[in-house]
Amino acid sequence: MIAGLIGILFIGLPIHGHVNPSLALVRELVRRGHRVTHLLTVRYHGKVEDAGSTLLPHHLDLDIDTIWLSLGSIGTAHKVLGMFRSVHRRAREAIPCFDFVSNDSIFLSGEAPAKSAGMPAACSVTSFAVNEKVVPRRWPTEDWRLRTCEAISSEKA
């Protein structure tokens, strides 16, 4: 268990619908005296700093809010995978400066650096209320998610 004021690293997916829900929590953590940092693209600089967080930028800035529309293309899939690898490397470098990691649930490699450092972590889930008519059961399984996370985290830096 962590006692006292801590440094928290938020590893988020650079999509407004995933960043925005973290901001109220960030404001409260900062109000209580904790040091909060977001690992995101520079596009979110003003938004996270307005909440009291510091931006730790990663340098692969995709227009992720619209890229999902073309995920069927292999080029787009490679760009997204490249983003995940880039963020994973950056997180691995930064983690020693923090006490706790919070990662977005859709960010496949978000928890791996914390786990390998033996650091406590939590996963945030941003989701619309859905049912099987909106989200079909054929979506990737948890097993797929874990295998992908392992593949990304085993990449050489």
Q: Is the pTM of this model over 0.85?
A: no
89 Cβ contact partners less than 8 Å away, ≥ 6 residues apart: 157
User: Average pLDDT over the chain, rounded to whole?
Assistant: 76
pLDDT digits (tens, 9 = 90+) for 101-149: 988 877 655 677 788 888 888 888 776 655 666 555 555 555 555 555 5
Cβ–Cβ under 8 Å, residues 27 and 51: yes
Please give the domain boundaries of the chain with CATH numbers for all domains.
7-153 (3.40.50.2000)
- The two tokens of residue 126 are 């941003």
Alpha carbons 83 and 65: distance in angstroms, whole number: 14
